[in-house]
Structure 1
Amino acid sequence: MTITEIKEQNELFPVFLKLEHLCVLVVGGGNVALEKLTALLQNSPRTTIKVVAIEFNKAVLQLAQEHHAISLVPKAFSPEDLAGADVVIVAVNDRSASREISNEAKRQGRLVNVADTPELCDFYLSSVVRKGNLKIAISTNGKSPTMAKRLKETFNETLPEELDEVLDNMQQIRNRLKGDFSAKVTQLNNITKVMAKSEGAPKEPVAVPWWKKLFLGSLIAAVFVLLGLWLSTYAPVQAAMGQTSAFAHSIDPLFYWMILAGFAAQMVDGALGMGYGVTCTTILMSLGVNLPAISGSIHTAEVFSSGASGYSHYKYGNVNKKLFKVLLIPGVIGAVVGAYLLSVVGEEYGDYVRPFLAFYTLILGARIIYAAFRKTKQRKKIKKAGWLAGAGGFLDSFGGGGWGPLVTSTLISKGRTPRFVIGSVSITEFFVALASSVTFFAMLGMSHLHIILGLILGGLIAAPIAAQLAGKLPVKTMFIAVGSLVIIWSLRILLKAVGVF
């Protein structure tokens, strides 16, 4: 006779409520009540909420001022407070009082949640992952809210921002489908079937006959042999080797340092979304390169390195397409206007702009580092991102740098995921740098080719490595690294403005 052990299961029924159609009563006015109110407003900001407590802390009072749907009732709880309430949340630091309130609410037919007391709850408030219209609720059956929070953080970092765009596309497809319900379901299943397949699933190999492999290999080898023989009639091998050796000796040693500078700058910029200009300028100045050569060379080389970086970020899935579209056109317009004005009025006016930008980004850098150590990172909606991109493009051209420090740091300080911000800003940077460089070429021409080529070569080598690194760094590490780089960049500009450098 065998005894089968039945494992405990989570038998809670998951449901999403339209709380804006219901009334919620919160009993308590301290930190626990604040946590519950914040969760309610983050998910259903139009919910009507009544808060009953003898006293309220400052944070609850501030929240009530910001949300008119919250009404505060400064009194001790009484059964009459349950009138009109559909859902009751008890958040008082008194177990006996919590039990009495819970019993009274249930007697009157209300659904009750009692903070930190699962046995008194009719429902639990889950940890929620949000990606636009997609919402995932996580429950541990009341056993470990901490584990639910950790899972929430993991999903927030793992799930791409583009999921909301996928949902929009699926809605459009669904609206265009024809036929009865069964036919529509079949069509949608066929469309989404690819999402259920594992990327690592082995594919059936296509059998290629041995004779075909041999034929193709021989044909390719023959082409290379004939090509080599044909070239040798025009340039004998010995002479070609001599010319190659002479060319290598004729290269300015500074060229190799430029490759190193381009590599280092792109590693920083590709991984953190900023710092290309700062890193290049620092290295080139230490090598004794004059400032006009530095400015022109960096803007030109940045076109190629940012192009390689943007492609690499796109390849590794670090780009948010919606954010890219918002930043693109304003950033290009700002870059063209900034480059044109700088070409007309001269570089000295750019020096007046940099300190103001540096002061702003210094504050942002401090906020980013603070956010890295903050337990809960609230994601704020970014308003006027197009204007931000326009300002970044203008300052990058007119002020000699600032696209990454301004745009990347502002977006990250609003709670956006660093990986997708860096990827989206990096791919947009290619178009911004291209627009700026074309304008500079048209107005001033091009020079210092050996510096430009060295920076380009180093940047192309580093771009795919840096893009892959950006997707693997922990979020906290990226926050600290970005914030530190922004502060260093800002302090350098401010110190230079007062004559220290």
Structure 2
Amino acid sequence: MPAAAVIKEQNELFPVFLKLEHLRVLVVGGGNVGLEKLTALLQNSPTITIKVVAIQFNEAVLQLALNHDNISLVPKAFNPEDVAGSDIVIVAVNDREASRAISLEAKRQGKLVNVADTPDLCDFYLSSVVRKGNLKIAISTNGKSPTMAKRLKETFNEVLPDELDQVLDNLQQIRNRLKGDFASKVTQLNDITKVLVTSAPEKKKAAKKKQSVLFYAFLAVVFTLLGVVLSSFAPVQEVLVQAQEYGKSIDKLFYWMILAGFVAQMVDGALGMGYGVTSTTILMSLGVNLPAISGSIHTAEVFSSGASGYSHYKYGNVNKKLFKVLLIPGVIGAILGAYLLSVVGEEYGSSVRPFLASYTLVLGARIFYAAFRKTKARKKIKKAGWLAGAGGFLDSFGGGGWGPLVASTLISKGRTPRFVIGSVSITEFFVALASSLTFFVMLGLSHLHIILGLVIGGVIAAPIAARLAGKLPVKTMFIAVGSLVIIWSLRILLKAVGLF
């Protein structure tokens, strides 16, 4: 058959939004699949009337029925009489032959049927739904990949602003004030809203260009100020002389420093945490003393986290709203932690880390468990600013913890790992900068050859790691983040009791 004659497969489903509060729904099955269907129905239509028929119900379904008077549970095996009085039938039993029999009976009685994970028996599918107030977007993959529909839902939830509901309210008010017949109102509304379509690409392009200019300008100011501060402790002439000496005496150890920076940033950039743990482990194995490790890592992290943050921003991994919430508290916490550590001494900062490790060990286990859960309920993050402040403080005062504390807490609440990692990484630049400047003022600067090696390796790895964060499957990222947090926490706890 000629290529031009090939008929391309397409989705021929007709999207419809039902007023379920006026309909009666029968759900057959009281297990995990039934729970998933019940949850989806209630989330979209809380006042819906549902009858659930099953031989037995799991605890979650029983609890759901206790909390909702509009759900009635009928503990018995299905029979044809159960279909009577229902408008829609949803089959959620783990038995293909039984599902087929129930589906055929419901269709014989003229009911619309959905059978879980069996597209060929369905009259309709339950789509993934994106909801922003009054706006709802239903996503269908024609029954081929519910997983893809869920991933698109996560993306739309992150990208679409909450203010869309305000836009809808404003348009409704405008519509109510318009005069004329229906055709006239449509014409006027088209004229009012066409700017959203015709100028969107130009606005988006101009906004992106403006953001890039502002970002580069801001970086220039930041690094200029950093250079001024550094020059007050290490004059330019002295730095050049030391650089020449280092250039003449470069040995294999310097290349190991570059490797340490590269590996640490690959881990941190892809998973949102682990820079300090990874680089410390490598540098300790090379025989570098602890004071040199601590000062060098905080300094090098400014440059590597800056490159990482920009890369995540470039690849669209940053949630701007989350970034704004984390920024100021994180910086304030970092300054306070660095100042306090400079005053009281490093031994007090080390005493805090076991408590942090105990908390993150629990979070790591929760994240690892979440990777294998069928449903990951997304919870609202309360007091995220306080979380960022605590993370910044412990990162400076305890010698690490920004990523394990902040990123792991946000991910454990059901936030999409890609956007958490991107937002936490770009915020880490400002946290590390604030911490390092405070350390410079209080303690001065040293160990330039270690810093330089870590910076070179980190800057090389940053764009690669950021790209990887956007490509890894969500389940893989949950497993990787959870494992890293558990390892980091156990290492700190074992070290605290003298077993590491």
Relative to the length of structure 2, the TM-score reads 0.75
User: Following the alignment from structure 1 to structure 2, what is the Cα–Cα distance between the partners of residues 323 and 63?
Assistant: 32
Look up the SS of the partner of 1:161 in the other structure. helix
Match of 2:140 among 138, 141, 156: 138
Look up the SS of the partner of 2:305 in the other structure. helix
Look up the SS of the partner of 1:26 in the other structure. strand
1:302 correspondence with 2:304? no
User: Following the alignment from structure 2 to structure 1, what is the Cα–Cα distance between the partners of residues 48 and 340?
Assistant: 51
Structure 1 residues 91 and 375: CA distance shift in structure 2, 3 A: closer
Q: Which moved more, 1:165-174 or 1:381-390?
A: 165-174
Structure 1 residues 497 and 196: CA distance shift in structure 2, 3 A: same
Cα distance, 1:406 vs structure 2: 1.6
Corresponding residue number in structure 1 for 2:159: 162
User: Following the alignment from structure 2 to structure 1, what is the Cα–Cα distance between the partners of residues 33 and 383?
Assistant: 34
Corresponding residue number in structure 1 for 2:468: 469
Corresponding residue number in structure 1 for 2:15: 14
Q: Which digits, 9 at most, give the CA deviation of each residue in 1:135-190, with x for residues without a partner?
A: 323163xxxx4x24143145346657222358469659968999975354245334
Identity %: 72
Relative to the length of structure 1, the TM-score reads 0.74
Amino acid at match of 1:43: N
Cα distance, 1:280 vs structure 2: 1.4
1:149 correspondence with 2:143? no
Q: Which digits, 9 at most, give the CA deviation of each residue in 1:234-275, with x for residues without a partner?
A: xxxxxxxxx998772155765443333222211211111111
User: Following the alignment from structure 2 to structure 1, what is the Cα–Cα distance between the partners of residues 440 and 243?
Assistant: 31
Q: Which moved more, 1:420-429 or 1:483-492?
A: 483-492
Look up the SS of the partner of 1:296 in the other structure. helix
Amino acid at match of 2:37: K
Corresponding residue number in structure 2 for 1:411: 410
CA RMSD of aligned residues (A): 4.0
Larger radius of gyration: 1
Q: Is the 8 A contact 1:339 1:394 kept in 2?
A: yes
Which ranges in structure 2 are unaligned for 5 or more consecutive residues? Answer: 179-184, 205-241
Look up the SS of the partner of 1:352 in the other structure. helix
Q: Is the 8 A contact 2:103 2:113 kept in 1?
A: no
User: Following the alignment from structure 1 to structure 2, what is the Cα–Cα distance between the partners of residues 80 and 430?
Assistant: 65
Cα distance, 1:355 vs structure 2: 1.6
Q: Is the 8 A contact 1:90 1:102 kept in 2?
A: no
Structure 1 residues 371 and 453: CA distance shift in structure 2, 3 A: same
Q: Is the 8 A contact 1:102 1:114 kept in 2?
A: no
Q: Which moved more, 1:326-335 or 1:375-384?
A: 375-384
Structure 1 residues 68 and 286: CA distance shift in structure 2, 3 A: farther
Which ranges in structure 1 are unaligned for 5 or more consecutive residues? Answer: 200-242
Q: Which moved more, 1:452-461 or 1:79-88?
A: 79-88
Q: Which moved more, 1:252-261 or 1:390-399?
A: 252-261
Corresponding residue number in structure 1 for 2:190: 185
User: Following the alignment from structure 1 to structure 2, what is the Cα–Cα distance between the partners of residues 137 and 285?
Assistant: 51
User: Following the alignment from structure 2 to structure 1, what is the Cα–Cα distance between the partners of residues 108 and 169?
Assistant: 48
Cα distance, 1:392 vs structure 2: 1.6
Structure 1 residues 354 and 45: CA distance shift in structure 2, 3 A: farther
Cα distance, 1:118 vs structure 2: 7.6
Q: Is the 8 A contact 1:351 1:399 kept in 2?
A: yes
Cα distance, 1:88 vs structure 2: 4.9
Amino acid at match of 1:58: E
Structure 1 residues 181 and 463: CA distance shift in structure 2, 3 A: same
Q: Is the 8 A contact 1:129 1:155 kept in 2?
A: no
Q: Which moved more, 1:451-460 or 1:246-255?
A: 246-255
Cα distance, 1:447 vs structure 2: 2.9
Cα distance, 1:58 vs structure 2: 2.9
